[in-house]
Amino acid sequence: MWELCVGAFIIICITHWVYRWRNPSCNGKLPPGSMGLPLLGESLQFFTPNTSSDIPPFIKKRMKRYGPIFKTNLVGRPVVVSTDPDFNYFIFQQEGQVFQSWYPETFTEIFGKQNVGSLHGFMYKYLKNMVLNLFGPESLKKMLSEVENTACRSLQQWSCQDSVELKEATARMIFDLTAKKLISYDSNKASENLRENFVAFIQGLISFPLDVPGTAYHKCLQGRKKAMRMLKKMLQERRAMPRKQQTDFFDYVVEELKKEGTILTEAIALDLMFVLLFASFETTSLAITYAIKLLSDNPLVLKQLQEEHKAILEQREDPNSGITWKEYKSMTFTFQFINETVRLANIVPGIFRKAMKEISFKGYTIPAGWAVMVCPPAVHLNPKKYRDPLAFNPWRWEGVELSGATKNFMAFGGGMRFCVGTDFTKVATYQRRKYC
């Protein structure tokens, strides 16, 4: 008899647990949605690859069923997904007061627990200012000719080859440039290939977080470990033999580490270096590759770009001189093309934040501690804002001034975490289109 009582008790406990999983407690009304399977949530559906240029199927299906704001559960974490422009804008504007940057534990394992995306407050602002010394507009003005020369050399080399795998070649070009600026790395002289470790890392970046030998996620973690070992060795060598003049970002880091009372640690510096190397070449090379494809498919756009650049060349006293910052900033149609490219590319599928306290928005309650995921693709492909949203149309940006993120355009993030590498991405993309 007691066995039946124990069995019944276990069944009741499991049933109650499943019920609580599917119906989380809340002081108000939660957004509609499903929490999926216990422990797993809807992780399997979320990590299904999206092979189209449209809104990811996971998001699109739930938007139709639940509306622009819905709840789900990813890798055991309750998440509110927002495709609502007003809510997205509110999230970005309230960072540090209502929301803070947050990413699932699997992401922090990949990018490091001390990565810049996981830090807050003064520490984040401190690291942001460090990065602006390298990728900010003032530094890019000095770097412009170097980017142009790198693009010229690469294109000359490719012209002598029978065929070029564009994404790989572009990634290699940008990695060599940024690795030189960051750590004076020269792939032709280095004893180990740093970029190979990043390739292994990238292949498992968006995969189900199962750390078992043979899985993409495991290979991703192994790629990170190898890259971090190389970076740590380089930093230790630089600290042991510091250079008299600052020639790269590592020199700047070494000087910061030497300061009395510094808040910078070696672990934070290495995670920052890892993220910068990854972000600067992978996302930029994807955008450039997509831009070239769009140009090849749209000859009228290519023609207008060429006309704009030709007009600039004709106004120069010396046609062979390099591009100036003034010329770069005067390229009206070029920036329209960039805006449309990144709108359609949607390289970042989701931006995560965490609610620091309970909030209400449009009748829904988001409990304190819940994660919130802003979905840029759903915003950029919204037919209410963009007519025929999947069509490539740079002219739709004519007369539109963008100085940062807006409710309907967030290709480079938003709020206080607006991407500091925005201008670097635009400069690199421009240099590749210039010679198409």
- pLDDT tens digit string along 70-117? 999 987 889 999 999 999 989 988 877 888 877 767 666 666 666 555
State whether residue 74 is helix, strand or coil. Answer: strand
Residue 305 makes CB contacts below 8 A (sequence gap 6+) with 295, 333, 334, 337, 433, 436
Q: At 167, which amino acid appears?
A: K
Beta strands in 232-361 (DSSP E): 351-355, 359-361
Which residue ranges make up the annotated binding site for heme?
Answer: 419
CA distance 178 to 69: 38
Domains of the chain by residue range: 84-429
Tens-digit pLDDT profile for residues 169-215: 888 888 888 888 888 877 777 666 777 777 766 666 666 677 778 77
What fold is seen in the domain 84-429? Cytochrome p450 (1.10.630)
Stated pTM of the model: 0.81
Whether 39 has a pLDDT exceeding 60, the answer reads: yes
CA distance 29 to 277: 43
Give the other-Cβ count within 10 Å of 354's Cβ.
17
CA distance 82 to 285: 28
Instruction: Decide if 134 contacts 249 (C-beta within 8 A).
Output: yes
Task: Tell me which of 19-28, 394-403, 418-427 is least confident.
Answer: 418-427
Taking Cα atoms as reference points, which of 274, 300, 12, 276 lies closest to residue 131?
276
pLDDT at 388: 94
Cα distance from N-terminal residue to C-terminal residue, the chain? 81
Beta strands in 26-182 (DSSP E): 69-74, 77-82, 99-101
The tokens of 51 are what?
């092979």
Tens-digit pLDDT profile for residues 334-376: 999 998 998 998 877 888 888 999 999 989 999 999 999 999 9
pLDDT at 84: 93
Which residue ranges make up the annotated binding site?
Answer: 419
